[in-house]
Chains A and B, each alone.
Chain A
Amino acid sequence: MSSFPTDSILVLAELTPSGAVASSSAGLLGAAASVGTPVALLVTEPGASPAAASALGDLGAAHVLVAESAELATRLTTPVADALAAAYDLVQPGAVLISNSVEGRDVAGRFAARAGIPLAVDVVSVARDEEGITAHHSVWGGTYDTDSAASFGALVATVRQGAVTDRAAAVEPRIEALAVAPSGSAAAEILSFTPAQAVSSRPELRGATTVVAGGRGLGTAEKFVLVEQLADALGAAVGASRAAVDAGYIAHGSQVGQTGVSVSPQLYVALGISGAIQHRAGMQTSKTIVAVNKDADAPIFEVADFGVVGDLFTVVPQLIEALEARKH
C-alpha cells in the first residue's frame, strides 16, 4: 500500500467525452499545487489509453490514481462518486477539488453527503492557513468576496471553471491503479450521449481573456454573425445575453450571467446588450468593459469603461475595419 504526503490535495480530473484531459483539470491541479501536493484521480472505462494519466503529470499531478469502471458509460454519477470515495479513503487529503461543471457538481454533492465532509461551492481560489484549507468565493455577481473553511477536517470544493490561472510545473507522476468497490447506490441509466459540437477554433468562453457578447440588439440569428466577426478580429470568445439565447441567436452554452457562465476577462465587449442586473452579475468583474447600444439609458453603460451610444451595425463594422487596418 502506497503512502501519500500529509499535504495531499485530491483532484478529480475532468475528461472530455473523447477521454482527453479537459482544460478545467489544469486549473484544479494549479490550485492544488498552490496549497499542497496534487494527487489526481482519473476515472476511465476499462482499457482506456494511459495518455490521460501522463497528461495529468504534465499539469502537475505528483500521483495519479487510475480507477477503471465498466459502468461509466451506463450509470450516471455514482461510478465516479464511488471511485472518489475510495481515493479519499486511500489518500486522506486535506481537500478535494472538483470542477464546478454539471458532472462535477453531482459527484461533489453525492460524495460530500456520503462522507459527511463540508462542501464549498463555486470557489475561485484556495489558500492554506495553520488550520487547513480555506476557499475563496466571489459571490452575487462579484459584489462580495467571502472565505469559507471546514470547522474541522477536510474540505470538498467545486472550483469555478477558468477562475484559477495558476499552473503547476510538469512532473513525472507516480501512476497506480485504484480498486473501487461499487457502492450499489441507485443511479439513472444513460441511454445515449451526444457530444456538444466542437465550437470552432475560438477560445473557450470560460477563462477567455477577451469576450465579445451579443444581445437582443442584434435582431436576428443571421445578424449575430457580427458578434462572431468582432470576436475573431479580437481573438475573443463569443458570449451572449439570456435574451439572445432565448431568441435562438446562439446556443445556451454561450449565455453569460446569473444563470449562465460567469466570466471575468481582461476585456468584455457588450454589443446590443441592455445590461439587465442578471447579465451584469456574470460579467461585471471584467477588467475593462466596452459597450455599444442604441439606448443611452441602457444600464450596461453604468458599468462600461467606454460606451458608445449608437447603431451597432455601423459602429462595429467600423471597429473591425480599424482593427484590421492596425494589423497591416
Chain B
Amino acid sequence: MKIVVLVKEVPDTYGERKLDLETGLADRDAGDRVLDEIGERAVELAVTLAEHIPGTEVVLLSAGPVTVPASLRKGLAIGASSAVHVLDDRMQGADLTLTAQVLAGAVQRIGFDLVIAGDVSTDGTGGVIPSMVAELLGVASATNLAEVELDDGQLRGERLSDAGVTRLSVALPAVISVTERLPEARFPSFKGIVAAKKKPLDVLTLGEIGVDPDAQMPRSIMVAVAQKPARAAGVTIVDSGDGGTRIAEFLVENRLV
C-alpha cells in the first residue's frame, strides 16, 4: 500500500509572523520555518499504519520554496520512506485552486491508496485543500478525523464537527484529514535522523506534473494588505486584596457590564 502525506512548511507560530506589505506574500525571513504541527501528526498516523500493514510505503509531499527540504527531512526522520518536493517559481503567490491542482497532480504521479493531510494549516487556516485534492483526484474524502482504523482497504474513523461526531467508513483510495486529537508525532531517534539524510527526496516542477499556472482560468488574487497596529498593554496591578473589586470597577467604568 502507498500512503502520501501532505505536509506544509509554515512560519513558526512561536515567533513573529510577517506579511510583505508590498507583495502581500509571507516574509520568509521574518522567523523560523517549520513543519506544521498538524502535518507532523499526519506523518505519525501514516508511519503507525505502515508499521501494522506490511509492505506499506509512506511518501511525503510538499509544495513550496527551497527551504522545504529541511521540513521534509524532519518527516523522514519520523519514519516516512521518501519525499517529493514540488519546487517551481511559478507557484509564488499560488491560490488554493492552483495549490490543489499541483498537489493532486503530484499525488497522481506518485500513485496512492491513501492521502493523509492535516485538517487546517496554521498559516492559511483554510482547511479546504484535502477536499479540493479529493475532488480533483475523483476519490472520496473523510475530513477532521479524531480516530482512524484501517482494515483491509476499508478505513473507518470518527469525524469531529461543530454539529457532533460522525462515524464514517470509506473504501480506499481516499483522502483524509486529521485533527490534533490524533497522537503527537514521535520524537525522531538519532538513528532516524541519520537515516533520513539518505532517504530519497525527489524534486518535481509544474511541467513534470502537467499543471500550467498561466492557463486561462480565474484565480484568487490578493488586492490589498495592511498591518494592524500592535495592541498596547494597559494597566496591570498586583492584587492586594481588592483585585476582584478593581476589575468590577474597570468593567463598570468602561460600560462593559
The chain B residues found within 8 Å of chain A, CB to CB, are 13-14, 17, 19, 24, 38, 95-97, 100, 120, 122-136, 138-144, 156, 159-170, 174, 180-181, 217-228, 230-231, 233-239, 242-252, 254, 256-257
Contacts and interface: CB of A to CB of B under 8 A. Distances in A.
User: How many A residues touch the partner, as a band?
Assistant: 35 or more
Given A189-B170, A326-B252, A110 B132 contact: yes
A314 to B, nearest CB: 7
Contact of B167 (A17, A191, A296): A191
B243 A292 contact: yes
A302 B162 contact: no
Interface stretch (A1-9, A49-57, A62-70, A134-142): A134-142
Interface of A: 16-17, 76-77, 81, 100-103, 105-110, 112-114, 116-122, 134, 139-140, 142-155, 158, 185-196, 210, 234, 252-253, 258-259, 266-267, 277-278, 281, 284-285, 288, 290, 292, 296, 301-311, 314-323, 326
Contacts of A303: 231, 233
Contacts of A112: 96-97, 128, 132
Given A110-B131, A118-B220, A150-B219, A319 B244 contact: yes
What is the predominant secondary structure among interface residues of chain B facing chain A? Answer: mixed
A109 B128 contact: yes
A176 B64 CA distance: 46
Given A105-B128, A119-B97, A303-B233, A278 B13 contact: yes
B166 to A, nearest CB: 5
- Which of B17, B143, B164, B236 has the most CB atoms of chain A within a 10 A radius of its CB? B236
Contacts of B251: 267, 290, 323
11 contacts: A81-B135, A112-B96, A119-B132, A149-B220, A151-B219, A188-B169, A190-B166, A193-B167, A277-B13, A307-B237, A319-B247
Nearest to A261: B162
Given A112-B132, A193-B164, A150 B222 contact: no
A119 B128 contact: yes
Nearest to B24: A146
A188 B139 contact: no
A326 B227 contact: no
A197 to B, nearest CB: 9
A308 B246 contact: yes
A149 to B, nearest CB: 5
Contacts of A192: 166-167
B222 A122 contact: no
Given A147-B223, A191-B167, A318-B242, 4 more contacts: A118-B219, A189-B170, A278-B122, A323-B251
A9 to B, nearest CB: 17
Contacts of A189: 168-170
B244 A146 contact: no
